[in-house]
Chains A and B, each alone.
Chain A
């Protein structure tokens, strides 16, 4: 029986009706599930581009970079420029803030923390990922926004006001900066838990070998752990980026809104996802609705690019190491 080829039940010798039925059932259900998921992705993509068609045919590709949004019927003009800019700037800075923190947490939990601390802290960090985004957004409006405005933004503006990024703070707590901090908090647990798994996957022999050669802990991490996990971390970061780009609710609650392209992080703006979330239900006209769907299509393409890039990196690294890792991607 040991030589049975499980992946090809058709070629399997007759061993009893019940087992055979179960196999067929399993294969059918599994195949249907994957076919369903694939069909769903294609259907969504088709529906999104179909829904955006009125706007695509009216504005063409220049929609992507035009920074204008006027839903008043009779003077309608739409473009994704300012939202694309807002999405780029918020997700870039969110990733910039979250990366060192996330990797630090992962290192602490795998290499540095006392064993008794690891379990509870891991659980708590992963709980952060389970906090609904609307709750983080509420906390962003009520607590984080006002606090950032009154202390951090004020101080940064006073100290580094000559840098355009640190312009004068908006009086309301709503700003790109608040959105960045909220997004950083949201992607932190994703990146840190994937990194932690990657660091755990580094073979013990390699680490102990390095330590036996007389390296310090930091040299061991830099020389063994990081190179081993590099590709996986890159993929984790891109997944985090995808999350940051697509987050709508929490950003809508704290970003303030408006059709602006400016480098002042302390002033408000809008992202692709937040614009869709805030306006879709109340679209003033068919063109408005189609243009919002067009924003969705742009977001879909961006997420797709991020996902494919992540998979490509993982595969490339896996090939180089000759092992399949980064299964989380």
Chain B
């Protein structure tokens, strides 16, 4: 069989090429490790745009390379638990199970961002749709099924809403956006709290799942009448339609930097585990323009780690007002962390040692 001979030859050529590639990659990866320090991290896709700015900036100042893979909050927690990275990043604080598995891990809030309801309704522009927490919960519970439902029409006077069926879209992978979103719905809807609850992945009453921000965005783009939730940085970068949400003070706000910053003023005391929920800020003049779906995003490190000096230096640097300004100043819509939280974060960071 001449064919067999050919395929063996092809197979060995492929194998040789693969070996060569591995060898080349191996030497390439090994070289910089000897020259300079490298910090490896993985996790949240929400915070990834911030690291894309911080990484090169920090490398240019210090000769320390920061590698970050945007694999999702849940995967980031798994990676730091397994110690396959130097730091993990998650938008959701560790739950008791995860904290126990991670051992001597601490979580440090290092960026402030938000998740945003985005939609695809023919004839309704970005920023035009207004929603309240209870209406959003009823939509995702499957109780409101059409866009011209009286409860939606009542808060959108002047906007013509089609009699289109509503399709909800959600993340199929474990996600910090899902945590912030379900945390918010649990706070504004008793039915949601008792039927579904909040976590990085939940038992959705219905709707279509998409993998990652891009997966949800794809579902929304291809489905007229759909609504989902997406990280604010992703929404801004891709110019998706974003909804106005009514906050507890009664104002319909957009997820702008100042609105997210205002929501973070909710924090008056930081608990020792740094676990803070800033969704649905209470009714008060201080939170007049607050975006109700805001969230802290955390960096997770082991308190005892051989990389401690480099990690501490990098995270301290990220927490400086200058670095915070670097990511909030751009179109990415992160907001600077409040001073109170910064102090607590630095206190926690001081526990990290080698």
Q: Do A and B bind each other?
A: yes
- What is A's interface to B at a CB cutoff of 8 Å? 68-75, 141-142, 145-146, 170-174, 252-253, 256-259, 268, 278-279, 281-288
Contact indicator per residue, chain B 52-94, by CB within 8 Å of chain A (1) or not (0): 0000000000000000000111110010000000000000000
Looking at chain B's contact residues, the main secondary structure is loop
A283 engages B222 (CB within 8 Å): no
A256 engages B203 (CB within 8 Å): no
Task: Compute how far the CA of A90 lies from the CA of B28 in the bound complex, rounded to whole angstroms.
Answer: 44
A282 engages B95 (CB within 8 Å): no
Question: A283 touches which one: B78, B204, B208, B224 (CB < 8 A)?
Answer: B78
> Across the two chains, which residue of chain B brings its CB closest to A277?
B211
B222 engages A145 (CB within 8 Å): yes
A281 engages B75 (CB within 8 Å): yes
Question: B95 touches which one: A142, A173, A285 (CB < 8 A)?
Answer: A285
A172 engages B169 (CB within 8 Å): yes
Task: Compute how far the CA of A252 lies from the CA of B201 in the bound complex, rounded to whole angstroms.
Answer: 16
Q: Chain A contacts of B199 at CB under 8 A? A: 71-73, 284
A171-B224, A282-B173, A284-B199 known; A258 vs B165 contact (CB < 8 Å): no
A257 engages B218 (CB within 8 Å): no
Task: Compute how far the CA of A172 lies from the CA of B174 in the bound complex, rounded to whole angstroms.
Answer: 21
CB distance from B152 to the nearest CB of A (A): 17
Contact indicator per residue, chain B 198-210, by CB within 8 Å of chain A (1) or not (0): 1111111011110
B172 engages A284 (CB within 8 Å): no
Q: Chain B contacts of A257 at CB under 8 A? A: 172, 204, 208-209
CB distance from B65 to the nearest CB of A (A): 24
Q: Chain B contacts of A173 at CB under 8 A? A: 222-223
A171 engages B226 (CB within 8 Å): yes
Question: A70 touches which one: B72, B203, B215, B224 (CB < 8 A)?
Answer: B203
Task: Compute how far the CA of A72 lies from the CA of B182 in the bound complex, rounded to whole angstroms.
Answer: 11
Q: Chain B contacts of A69 at CB under 8 A? A: 203
A73-B96, A278-B211, A279-B201 known; A172 vs B226 contact (CB < 8 Å): yes
B174 engages A281 (CB within 8 Å): yes
Q: Compute the total of residue contacts between A and B using a CB distance below 8 Å.
A: 109
> Across the two chains, which residue of chain A brings its CB closest to B74?
A282
| B117 interfacial by beta-carbon distance below 8 Å | no
| B175 interfacial by beta-carbon distance below 8 Å | yes
> Across the two chains, which residue of chain B brings its CB closest to A288?
B201
- What is B's interface to A at a CB cutoff of 8 Å? 71-75, 78, 95-98, 101, 165, 167, 169, 172-175, 196-204, 206-209, 211, 215, 218-219, 222-226
Question: B198 touches which one: A72, A268, A278, A286 (CB < 8 A)?
Answer: A72
Q: Chain A contacts of B74 at CB under 8 A? A: 281-284
A73 engages B208 (CB within 8 Å): no
CB distance from B28 to the nearest CB of A (A): 25
Q: Chain B contacts of A286 at CB under 8 A? A: 97, 101
Task: Compute how far the CA of A171 lies from the CA of B209 in the bound complex, rounded to whole angstroms.
Answer: 13
Question: A72 touches which one: B78, B203, B225 (CB < 8 A)?
Answer: B203
Question: A258 touches which one: B72, B98, B174, B204 (CB < 8 A)?
Answer: B204
CB distance from A53 to the nearest CB of B (A): 16
> Across the two chains, which residue of chain A brings its CB closest to B167?
A171
B211 engages A171 (CB within 8 Å): no
B172 engages A252 (CB within 8 Å): yes
Task: Compute how far the CA of A285 lies from the CA of B102 in the bound complex, rounded to whole angstroms.
Answer: 11
Question: B172 touches which one: A73, A146, A278, A283 (CB < 8 A)?
Answer: A278
B208 engages A142 (CB within 8 Å): no
> Across the two chains, which residue of chain B brings its CB closest to A141?
B218
CB distance from B209 to the nearest CB of A (A): 3
Which residue, A74, A174, A252, has most C-beta atoms of chain B within 10 A? A174
Q: Chain A contacts of B211 at CB under 8 A? A: 252-253, 278
Task: Compute how far the CA of A145 lies from the CA of B223 in the bound complex, rounded to whole angstroms.
Answer: 10
B97 engages A73 (CB within 8 Å): yes
A172 engages B95 (CB within 8 Å): no
> Across the two chains, which residue of chain A brings its CB closest to B166?
A171
A171-B226, A172-B167, A174-B219 known; A282 vs B209 contact (CB < 8 Å): no
Q: Chain B contacts of A174 at CB under 8 A? A: 208-209, 219
For the A-B complex with A71-B199, A172-B223 known, give 15 more contacts whose Cβ atoms are closer than 8 Å: A70-B203, A170-B167, A171-B167, A171-B226, A172-B222, A174-B208, A256-B209, A257-B204, A278-B211, A281-B71, A281-B173, A282-B174, A284-B174, A285-B95, A286-B97
Q: Chain B contacts of A287 at CB under 8 A? A: 97
B200 engages A282 (CB within 8 Å): yes
